[in-house]
Amino acid sequence: MQDEARGSSAAQEFERIMLPHLDAAHNLARWLVRNPHDAEDVVQDAYIRAFKFFGGYQGGNSRAWILRIVRNAAYTFIEKRHPADLTEEFDEALHGGEAEQPNAESALVQSADSRILQGALEALPVRSREVLILREIEGLSYKEIAEVADIPIGTVMSSLARGRAQLRERLLGIRQKEAPRGLPR
């Protein structure tokens, strides 16, 4: 009887702490695996794992803790079903130029159609897409991203810069392809 009460209490505590982050978890999974149905499976797996190991949660940033588990579950899923997605490397020769001013980037992103932006984001390598989603869509700090992705803050910053450059190049490429067809710039 006492074990049941403890189990019920732990389940209630898990729900209270982790369920508010369910939307963020699903959003991250959807962007990483690029399929809403697979994302649901990834989130379900992640929350089962999180519940199983909730006794080891020692407080702190619960959002970062659960998103790290979601991230790991997504990478496990990708490794099993789409391993080629994880092998795309960053090519410094193609993406290593000077960064443009943030204002130009902001104007381009704001003027881009959301469908085009989504397609460009989905076309990015999974690791670049991950840091962009965590920062720009989920609003995590560099420190939180470092915790979720288990990488140093400096790597977060450089990954964001590369991811933004890759996204910018993809959007510019799409824009250049549309211009000859007479589509508005």
**pLDDT per residue as tens digits for the range 119-128:** 888 888 888 8
CATH classification at residue 17: 1.10.1740.10
Residues 78 and 110 in one domain: no
Residue 38 has pLDDT above 80, yes or no: yes
Same domain, 37 and 105: no
The pTM of the full predicted model, rounded to 2 decimals, is 0.69
Of 41-45, 76-80, 95-99, 151-155, the one with minimum mean pLDDT is 95-99
Enclosing domain of residue 42: 2-86
Q: Mind listing the pLDDT tens digit for each residue in 102-121?
A: 455 555 545 546 778 888 88
Residues 80 and 144 in one domain: no
**Phi then psi dihedrals of residue 133, to 5 deg:** -65, -45
Last residue of a domain, one of 26, 61, 86: 86
Final residue belonging to a domain, choices 55, 86, 117: 86
Lowest mean pLDDT, pick from 84-98, 124-138, 159-173: 84-98
Residue 65 has pLDDT above 90, yes or no: yes
CATH number at residue 165: 1.10.10.10
Q: What is the DSSP string of the chain?
A: -HHHHHHHHHHHHHHHHHGGGHHHHHHHHHHHHS-HHHHHHHHHHHHHHHHHTGGG--SS-HHHHHHHHHHHHHHHHHHHH-GGGGTPPP-HHHH-SPPPPHHHHHHHHHHS-HHHHHHHHHHS-HHHHHHHIIIIIS---HHHHHHHHT--HHHHHHHHHHHHHHHHHHHHHHHHHHGGGT---
Q: How many domains does the chain divide into?
A: 2
The per-residue pLDDT for 175 is 76
Residues 26, 73: one domain? yes
Q: Are 185 and 130 in contact (CB under 8 A)?
A: no
Contact between 153 and 184 under an 8 Å Cβ cutoff? The reply is no
Across residues 56-73, what is the average pLDDT? 92
Judgement on whether residues 147 and 102 belong to the same structural domain of the protein: yes
User: Which tops the pLDDT comparison, 92 or 33?
Assistant: 33
CA dihedral 55, 142, 129, 58 (to 10 degrees): 0
Q: Are 50 and 80 part of one and the same domain?
A: yes
Pair 119, 52 in one domain: no
Say whether pLDDT at 177 is over 60.
yes
Domain termination site, one of 42, 57, 86: 86
Co-location of 7 and 80 in the same domain:
yes
Residues 116 and 173 grouped into a single domain: yes
